[in-house]
Structure 1
Amino acid sequence: MKQKVLIVGLGLIGASLAIAIKKEHPDNWLIGWDSENTRKIAKEKQIIDESPASFEEAAVKADTILLAVPIRTSLNYLKELARLPLKSKVLVTDAGSTKQEIMSLAKTLPFDFIGGHPMAGSHKSGVFAANGELFENAYFIFTTPEQENIAKRVVELQELFKGTRAKYVVLSSEEHDQITGMLSHFPHIIASGLVNQADLFNQIHPRAKQLAAGGFRDITRIASSDPQMWTDILLSNRQFLIELIHSWQERMDEVTQWLANEEQTEIYRFFENAKDTRDKLPIHSNGAIPAFYDLFVDVPDRAGVIAETTGILGQAGISIINVKILETREDIIGVLQITFKSQADLQAGKQCIEEKTTYQCRLK
């Protein structure tokens, strides 16, 4: 059935969802709301069908409203929507990373609301990064309210977002925030803490910054995230994160004692258990933290090798996000790290380079 869909926020997630919706439901009329310049770009790129004169104008004629904005901003929009004469059967959803706070507000709203969280992302942001394949095989979580008549409407959203080709999961808001808190929010705190501690260390030992590439840069990649977005996420999931931080501090106190007492067996078990658990994790599955699709290519240290390798990918029509030299030393093999936007591009790129060159390619 043709419907009018208002998408508030035309960044990476909102614009990518718009593309996915249009792919499966070409008759739906997509209305976009963001800054004037972003709306203009989205209209020119045919991501949306209409750029309204005002938010109110768009909201009152929408059948479905998607809030693809930061959590605090979503809460403000919901309060504003509650004051507007929306359609009686309007269905509102969001794409935020936490759910308890917004589902609590939803109980007071005069319209139907179901929480949403498409668990995918990219190293890029903004409307220009929009990608209709972004959510393929990723988890798309819905949190439904206690009212059964509203909860049943989740099938409407699953049909609307069918073009994402995501895997749908329905969770309670509490379970959602606990799981994403452990697997996404808390790791972002740890990564940012490591980077900030290293920054203080670098002030005493300036050469450390020079040596911080490679492994240290890789394990702290998620620290390069939007500060405002993560401030909102942490504050909206603060109680559970406080519990996780206290638990982490207790565990680190244990490690401190093992080191102080030279308890080799306990230290060994600590690393052994971590290795065993890590090795059993699914490979290249989209989870709470967006996957990094990196290919590591052993290349000779000679002029033109980067252009040669990326040229091969370009001729094959394979897009890349980033290229980085991990190691270049005279007369020996260097390592070229190429980041792709999807698992499919990663595999295609690996096959292409191996067919066209003698370079060894590997996944980490």
Structure 2
Amino acid sequence: MRGNVLIIGLGLIGGSIALGIKKEHPDARIFGYDTDKQQAMLAKALKIIDEPVDDYPETAKASDLIVICTPVNATVQVIETLSRQPLKETVILTDAGSTKKKVLDAAERHFGARHVFVGGHPMAGSHKSGVAAAKEHLFENAFYMLTPSRFAGVKEIGQLKMWLKGTKAKFLEVSAEEHDYLTGVISHMPHIMAASMVNLAESAEHKHEIIARLAAGGFRDTTRIASSSPEMWKDILLHNDQILIPLLDSWIREMEEVKEWMINKDSRRIYDFFSGAKRFRDALPVHEKGAIPSSYDLYVDVPDYPGVISEITGYLAESSISITNIRILETREEIYGVLAISFQSNKDRALAVECLQLKTTYDTYFD
């Protein structure tokens, strides 16, 4: 497809969408705006966009596709600003935010039937942020939720899918209300719980200084999503409050029940609580990308001697296997320690297992 594309917000998501569009539509011209001008210049230097712009409302006038990749509060403000511009009648507008109802309400209120807005949410991400972390395959095989406004027809939705074809995502059309409930359950609530667990550990550290060391292992992996942007999650909770408050009430009631079972020594209900969770969790798809970025971690039992880490990374480098993170879990006091290595994909992790089984005698395992 030919035309002008404007990406507003050049972070990980905006940059990755731009790369997907550029790959599939090399004749399109991609313009990028970010409040951080350094990010916009970097996006140009990395050839993620064709031109950075300082005045996005002006650039929007000649755009055929506008993708808003800002925090949800800012998205509503951008929609209001764009509604005052003489945009092309055929322009398609979309966003990439984690909540949809208030964004769709704003779009319908400000654009009405004049311009088509289709809410979007690519359900994949990375532990890294910024446009430098953008990848054209970030959304490959991930669900890309589309929440069309009531003025969006089949033709316009199809055009947006064509623009985004290069992401290789799996598009799923739902209502804004359904989207916010689904993401509330499988993304927003886990982030709240993870942050709460970390805050509990921090409070406990005042009494037991060893808490931080013990938390370096499984606890750190379990709560990794608590490291997400506080600004972004503040906005998400405030925008999705009507969904999250009832979900929080339900979870609190369940925790009260668990407490009662413990008080009453009700072993059967406690067992059923964990058994039911295990059954459902074990049945979840292993290779699907979901709302929370997957963590492709491999654990290696290694002996404690100088050079063992460089030995492991050397073997992986020889096999051209890239790693995204490496750390030592300090939860053991035996001779062997645990080396946790993170990869970009399940395929890379599988190749690493083959490599290390061939080159070493160390035990490897993953969830």
Q: TM-score band, normalised by the shorter chain?
A: over 0.9
Q: What is the Cα deviation at residue 281 of structure 1?
A: 1.1
Task: Please list the CA deviations of residues 81-124 of structure 1 after superposition, one character each: whole Å capped at 9, or x if unmatched.
Answer: 00111111111000000111111112121421000000001010
* Match 1:118 to one of 96, 116, 122: 122
* Superposition map of 1:1-364 within 5 A: 1-34=1-34, 35-108=36-109, 109=111, 110-147=114-151, 149-327=152-330, 332-364=335-367
Q: Residues 213 and 330 of structure 2 are in contact (CA less than 8 Å); yes or no, is this contact kept in structure 1?
A: no
Separation in 2, partners of 1:341, 1:278 = 23
| SS of 1:290 mapped into structure 2 | coil
Q: Is the partner of 1:169 in helix, strand or coil?
A: strand
Aligned 8 A contact 1:188 1:223 in 2: yes
Task: Identify which range, 136-145 or 211-220, moves more after superposition.
Answer: 211-220
RMSD, matched Cα: 1.5
CA distance in 1 between partners of 2:97 and 2:334 (Å): 50
Structure 1 Cα separation of the partners of residues 130 and 308 of structure 2:
31
Q: Specify the SS of the correspondent of 1:193.
A: helix
Tell whether the 8 Å contact from 1:301 to 1:329 is kept in structure 2 after alignment.
no
Q: What is the CA-CA distance between 1:320 and the residue it aligns to?
A: 1.3
Q: C-alpha displacement at 1:331, in angstroms?
A: 7.0
Normalised TM-score (structure 2): 0.95
Alpha carbons 1:113, 1:150 under 8 Å: kept: no
Equivalent-residue separation in structure 2 for 1:97 and 1:53 (angstroms): 26
Stretches of structure 2 that go unaligned for 5 or more consecutive residues are none
Q: What letter is aligned with 2:361? A: T
Looking at structure 2, the residues matched to 54 and 126 of structure 1 have their Cα atoms a distance apart, in angstroms, of 21
Residues in 2 aligned to 1:267 and 1:331: alpha-carbon distance in whole angstroms: 33
Letter in 1 for 2:197: L
TM-score by length of 1: 0.96
C-alpha contact (below 8 Å) 1:144/1:151 kept by paired residues: no
Percentage of identical aligned residues: 49
Residue deviations 1:205-233 (CA, integer Å, cap 9, x gap): 22222222212112111101100000111
Shift of 1:280: 0.9
Question: 1:343 offset after TM fit, Å?
Answer: 2.1
Equivalent position amino acid for 1:354 in 2: Q
1:301, 1:328 within 8 Å by CA — same for their partners in 2?
no
* Local SS of the residue matching 2:206: helix
Deviation >4 Å, runs of 4+: 327-331
- Code of the residue aligned with 1:43 in structure 2: it is K
Distance 2:333 2:100 in 1: 53
Question: AA paired with 2:158?
Answer: V
Secondary structure in 2 aligned to 1:358? coil
Deviation at 1:345, TM superposition (A): 2.0
Tell me the SS of whatever aligns to 2:316.
helix
Of residues 322-331 and 66-75 in structure 1, the stretch that sits farther from structure 2 once superposed is 322-331
Compare 329-338 and 35-44 and name the one that shifted more: 329-338
- Alignment partners' CA distance in 1, 2:335 and 2:199: 34
8 Å contact 1:98–1:176 — kept in the other structure? yes
Q: CA, structure 1 residues 334+234, in 2 after alignment: closer, same or farther (shift >3 Å)?
A: same
2:213–2:331 Cα contact (<8 Å) kept: no
Report how far residue 347 of structure 1 moved.
2.0
Deviation at 1:330, TM superposition (A): 7.2
What is the alpha-carbon distance in structure 2 between the residues aligned to residue 282 and residue 133 of structure 1?
Answer: 20
Aligned residue type for 1:130 = A
Q: Is the 8 A contact 1:296 1:335 kept in 2?
A: yes
- Taking the aligned partners of 1:28 and 1:69, their CA distance within structure 2 comes to 22
Cα offset, 1:327, TM superposition: 4.4
Measured after TM superposition, the shift of residue 363 of structure 1 is 1.9
Q: Distance in 2 between matches of 1:26 and 1:349?
A: 34
The C-alpha deviation readout for 1:141-171, integer Å capped at 9, x for no partner, is 1001223x53541111111111111111001
Residues 273 and 309 (structure 1), Cα distance of their counterparts in 2 relative to 1, 3 Å cut: same
SS at match of 1:153: helix
Report the count of equivalent residues. 363
Structure 1 unaligned regions, length at least 5 = none
